[in-house]
Amino acid sequence: MSKLKELVQEAESLLGRRLVPLKSGLRSTLERGPLRFPSAVLLSVLLAWVAVRTFGYDLDGDSSPDTVALGKFHFHLFWTGKDLSAKPVEEGRPVSRNWDDTLHEALAKNDFVFEFLHREDREEVATVREAAERIVGDARTDRQKVQRLLAWMTENWDFSIEHSTVNAAALLQLRQGMCETSGFFVGVLDTLGIKAREVNDAVPGQGPDTAVEVWLDGKWRVAYLFGSPKYIDDRSVLEMFAGNESDVCIVYYWRDPNGKLFRGKLWYDERVAPIFRTRRGLTVREVPDLAQLRTSY
C-alpha cells in the first residue's frame, strides 16, 4: 500500500469520515507559492489533520466554513454532512475581521456592506454588476433602478428556501433566499453605486421587520422586498418608528478570527444618529466608545 493511501486511511479513520479530493484549482494555487504538495488528496489529509488536531474543528457543526492556515495560505473547511472539503481563501480577501474593527469601519464610512459584497474581489464584483445592469436595463434614475430590481425579484426569486450565505454573488447563482435576500439586494445596488443597508426593528408586525433602506433623493427610504407587492416606501425606518427610534437597528455581517460568519445589530442611539439619519460617516471625534453603544449579535 502506498504512503499516500496510508495517510488517507489514517485520516479517514481518525475523522470517521470520507475525505474528498480537492479540485485542481487549489493545487495550482498552492504551486505558485513556496509550499508544494504531491496531490490534492494529500492536501485534504493535511488540512483535515490540522483541523482536528490543532484547531479542534467540529465536524458536527453548522455548514458555515471554519478557516485554517498552512504556512501563508489560508483555507475554508466545509463539512457538508457527508464529506470534508477545503477551499482556498481568495487572494486579496481578508481571512477575518474582529467585531470592533468591523464596527469602527462601518461607523467611519456609514457603510455596512461587508459580507454582502466582497469589493476587493474584482471577479465577484464584475459578475454581480453585469447581472445588475441586465436587470435594471435602461432605467436612468436610482429610484427606477431599485424599482426594476424589485420587479425582477417578484418574477425570478424563490423566497421559500433559506441558505447560509448573505453574499450577493452566491445568492445570484441560487436565486433563492429568505431573510438573507437582503444581502443580495444590498450587494446588487452597491455595484450600481446606490447606497443601501439591511435594517430591522424590535417590534414584529409594527414595522418592516427585515427590510432594506436605500439612499434615494437625499434621504433613506425603506424598500420592501419581502411579501407582495414589493415597493419603495418614502419613509425611513426611523420615521416609521417616530418616538420609538431605539427599536430600530442596522444589520451587518462579519467573520470572527476563525472565519465564522456572525450577524451584528447596531441599535439607534443619539451618539450615532448621523449614521441613521444621513449618508455620512462619523468623524474620529464623533465615534463613541463601542462598549457604550447598544449592539448585539
Whether 93 is in a domain gets the answer no
Q: Check: CB of residue 213 under 8 Å from CB of residue 220.
A: yes
* Total tally of structural domains belonging to the chain: 2
Dig out the grid coordinates for 25 from the structure.
Answer: 484549482
pLDDT at 97: 61
Q: What residue has cell string 447563482?
A: 173
- Please identify, among 47, 65, 88, the residue that sits at the C-terminal boundary of a domain: 88
Do 80 and 104 reside in the same domain of the chain? no
Q: What share of the chain is helix, strand, coil (3-state, %, to 5)?
A: 40, 20, 40
C-alpha cell of residue 192: 450600481
Return d(Cα 103, Cα 110) in angstroms, integer: 10
**How confident is the model over 212-222, as a mean pLDDT?**
97
CATH number of the domain that residue 113 is part of: 3.10.620
Which of 29-43, 66-80, 270-284 bottoms out in mean pLDDT, i.e. has the lowest? 29-43
Handedness of CA 69, 59, 175, 251 (dihedral sign): negative
Both 45 and 154 in a single domain? Answer: no
Residues 208, 258 within the same domain:
yes
Burial (CB < 10 A; 0-12, 13-18, 19+), residue 242, is: exposed
Do 245 and 118 lie in one domain? The reply is yes
Domain shared by 185 and 289, yes or no: yes
Here the cell at position 72 is: 501563508
For the residues 97-106, what does the mean pLDDT come to? 84
Give domain status of residue 280, yes or no.
yes
**pLDDT (0 to 100) of residue 2:** 53
Which DSSP letter does residue 60 get?
A: T
Same domain, 47 and 166: no
More confident residue, 69 or 57: 69
In this prediction, residue 260 carries a pLDDT of 81
Residues 191, 81 within the same domain: no
Average pLDDT, the chain: 78
| pLDDT band, very low/low/confident/very high, at 292 (cuts 50, 70, 90) | confident
Q: How many CA atoms lie within 13 A of 297 on its CB side?
A: 18
Give 244's DSSP letter. -
Indicate whether 87 pLDDT > 80: no
Q: Do 136 and 177 belong to one domain?
A: yes
Write down the pTM of the prediction: 0.68
Residues 37 and 169 in one domain: no
Please state, in angstroms and rounded to a whole number, the distance separating the CA atoms of residues 187 and 184: 5
Question: How would residue 46 be classed by pLDDT, with cut points 50, 70 and 90?
Answer: low
**Is the domain of 69 the same as that of 104?**
no
What SS3 class is residue 274? Answer: helix
pLDDT, tens digit, 9 for 90 and up, residues 139-192? 999 999 999 999 999 999 999 998 889 999 999 999 999 989 999 999 999 999
| Residues 289 and 213 reside in one and the same domain | yes
What is the C-alpha separation between 14 and 44, in angstroms, rounded? 13
Which of 88, 110, 127 is the C-terminal boundary of a domain? 88
Domain that holds residue 58: 3-88
Give CA–CA dist 13/39, Å, rounded. 20
CA distance between the termini of the chain: 50
Residue 128: predicted pLDDT: 98
Q: What is the DSSP letter of 20?
A: P
Q: Which range is least confidently modeled, 206-210, 217-221, 254-258?
A: 206-210
Last residue of a domain, one of 88, 117, 132: 88
Residues 64 and 193 in one domain: no
Pairing state of beta strands 83-88 and 18-19?
A: parallel
Q: Are 210 and 181 in contact (CB under 8 A)?
A: no
Q: Evaluate whether 177 touches 159 at the Cβ level (below 8 Å).
A: yes
Query: 63 in helix, strand or coil?
Result: coil
Q: What is the rounded distance in angstroms from the CA atom of residue 217 to the CA atom of residue 261?
A: 33
